[in-house]
């Protein structure tokens, strides 16, 4: 039986990179401890299976030493005020997938002579967040009146995505990598990212987060698009220290877009209990109680001490409400993951013979012509 000469350091690196403990892989790879110690070596078939299990290209395991894997977009994430250094394979693969989709859509817009989007890069961090938020609301057509008619956060989020999609932004929301339910995206690692481009601006929102938190992430990443800056983010609504000025600015824009201070002030009731105010205002603005808390702090309606205490309580409450799985209708879920605008364009291009079915299947995360055609009917391309 032919064994493959592999540097044990590469096997150890690949396993650690995936965040998997050695004992968790022991059932499938009984000789893994011996491979990592250099006592024995795997066969090629075993090595390929191992690479698949830890989500690493098998070619990496033939290198002399572990490769550097820089995040391909600016990384604004911090943890306790310090940069987050190692990205997970799931995060990296999600960025690469979205970059491939964006690249395809860039070519599609140029081939169909679509104009540049004027709002991309139209703002700077020197501009008042209130001014930019007003321009965003005007461009998107997503104001408070549009949200008041929504019954739930989920309905408001769907409407927000629809308005961004109509304006020309590719919005993709998923809690897993492609359609693999075993590759979960961790909201504590990242909440979303923006890939700026004047023809094909793309926003990815971590769908494993709560619906209300996704609202704020979408608003935050839209602010990055208005700056014309790609970015990876893990910042929620809390006004924290230690984040880059650009992140704090995008947060201020997102907060003003979702909860304009002038409107909030007019809705405040002086003697209302905090819990009642949070519940009422969250329903009014269709945002999370965390966003409302932040805005109440902004208008000095509560002290920083009470803010910190209540914030911790709300975090615990909202984490219990976080979605536990994708579920739901497959076609609707797929459209959410890739976005209506992207899916429509890709189906049209494929049916016209300009894109290979193989490439379309890969970018959509489907595996059969029947599924592709059903998706085409869902987006209104196929009758």
* Residues written for the chain: 383
Can you give the pLDDT at residue 345?
95
Tokens, residue 20: 């998997």
Burial class (CB in 10 A: 0-12, 13-18, 19+), 380: exposed
| 142-169 confidence digits (pLDDT tens) | 888 888 888 888 899 999 999 999 999 9
More confident residue, 369 or 146: 369
Residue partners of 77: CB distance under 8 A and separation at least 6: 83, 84, 189, 190, 232, 233, 234, 235
Can you give the pLDDT at residue 237?
75
Q: Where are the domains of the chain?
A: 8-62, 78-321, 330-378
Predicted confidence (pLDDT) at residue 373 exceeds the cutoff of 50 = yes
Predicted confidence (pLDDT) at residue 326 exceeds the cutoff of 50 = no
Q: Which of 24-33, 107-116, 247-256, 296-305 has the lowest mean pLDDT?
A: 24-33
- Confidence class for position 120, pLDDT limits 50, 70, 90: very high
More confident residue, 271 or 104: 104
Predicted confidence (pLDDT) at residue 109 exceeds the cutoff of 50 = yes
Closest CA to 186 of 96, 250, 102, 94: 94
More confident residue, 198 or 69: 198
Can you give the pLDDT at residue 324?
54
Q: What is the pLDDT averaged over residues 55-59?
A: 89
Residue 244, CB-side half-sphere exposure with 13 Å CA sphere: 15
Predicted confidence (pLDDT) at residue 211 exceeds the cutoff of 60 = yes
- Confidence class for position 181, pLDDT limits 50, 70, 90: confident
Mean pLDDT of the chain: 89
| 261-298 confidence digits (pLDDT tens) | 999 999 999 889 999 999 999 989 988 889 999 999 99
Cα distance from N-terminal residue to C-terminal residue, the chain: 55
| 122-139 confidence digits (pLDDT tens) | 999 999 999 999 999 999
Phi-psi category of residue 33: left, alpha or beta, with phi > 0 → left and psi -120 to 50 → alpha: alpha
Pairing assessment for the beta strands 176-177 and 202-206 based on DSSP bridges: unpaired
């Amino acid at each position: 039986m032919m064994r493959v000469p592999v540097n044990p350091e590469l096997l150890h690196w690949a396993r650690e990179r995936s965040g998997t403990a050695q004992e968790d892989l022991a059932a499938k790879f009984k000789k893994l401890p011996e491979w990592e110690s250099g006592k024995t070596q795997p066969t090629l078939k075993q090595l390929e299976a191992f690479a698949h299990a830890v989500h690493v290209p098998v070619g990496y395991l033939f290198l002399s030493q572990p490769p550097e894997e820089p995040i391909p977009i600016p990384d604004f994430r911090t943890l306790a005020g310090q940069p987050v250094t190692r990205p997970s394979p799931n995060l990296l693969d999600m960025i690469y997938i979205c970059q491939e989709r964006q690249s395809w859509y860039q070519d599609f817009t140029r081939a169909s002579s679509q104009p540049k989007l004027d709002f991309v890069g139209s703002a700077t961090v020197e501009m008042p967040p209130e001014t930019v938020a007003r321009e965003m609301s005007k461009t998107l057509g997503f104001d408070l009146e549009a949200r008041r008619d929504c019954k739930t956060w989920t309905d408001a989020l769907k409407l927000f995505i629809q308005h961004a999609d109509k304006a020309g932004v590719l919005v993709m929301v998923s809690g897993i990598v492609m359609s693999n339910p075993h590759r979960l995206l961790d909201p504590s690692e990242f909440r979303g990212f923006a890939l700026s481009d004047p023809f094909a601006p793309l926003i990815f929102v971590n769908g494993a987060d709560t619906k209300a938190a996704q609202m704020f992430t979408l608003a935050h990443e839209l602010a990055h698009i208005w700056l014309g800056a790609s970015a990876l983010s893990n910042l929620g609504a809390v006004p924290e220290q230690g984040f880059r000025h650009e992140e704090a600015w995008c947060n201020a824009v997102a907060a003003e877009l979702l909860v304009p201070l002038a409107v909030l002030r007019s809705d405040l009731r002086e003697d209302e209990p905090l819990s009642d105010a949070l519940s009422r205002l969250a329903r009014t603005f269709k945002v999370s109680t965390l966003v409302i808390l932040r805005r109440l702090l902004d208008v000095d309606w509560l002290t920083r001490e009470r803010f910190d205490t209540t914030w911790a309580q709300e975090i615990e409450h909202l984490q219990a409400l976080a979605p536990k799985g994708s579920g739901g209708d497959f076609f609707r879920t797929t459209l959410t993951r890739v976005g209506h605008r992207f899916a429509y364009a890709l189906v049209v291009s494929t049916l016209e013979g300009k894109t290979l079915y193989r490439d379309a299947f890969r970018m959509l995360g489907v595996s059969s012509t029947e599924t592709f055609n059903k998706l085409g009917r869902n987006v209104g391309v196929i009758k």
